[in-house]
Structure 1
């Protein structure tokens, strides 16, 4: 099995897993049990969705359709860069 998706949250991982399984691709969420061990700290990079090696190309195609937009963090950085260092949008 290989990782086809690095999830930001268990919810994203479950959405990816459900989409893959609905298409007939067996999927496994690795790292879900580590979330409870992190306590109040945000856990990033621990949750991965994995599929059998033979299903990787089809899984990547499906996940590209399920998650077409860039991650929310990239969108936040883009919006924040539209504003000057004072927090106001330049005229």
Structure 2
């Protein structure tokens, strides 16, 4: 049991299960978001902000971002465009 808790760290088992259920494109989106937050926090001199952006926070943000990501992907597919102008959405 201690070994399992060491692997999970401060993350809840439900959050880890959720993370494992994501598709590759969903993971890419969330990893990109995490990297962006880390870079911005470092640039403004508040690395501690990036540390607060844990799996629980990522899961909460994904409730909004992942459906939006799927919608944009669907629109991209319908338009047959090679790129989407994000500022037009």
The reply to whether TM is greater than 0.5 is no
More helix per residue: 2
* Structure-1-length-normalised TM-score: 0.29
More strand per residue: 1
Larger RCO, structure (CA 8 Å, separation 6 or more) = 1
* Structure-2-length-normalised TM-score: 0.30
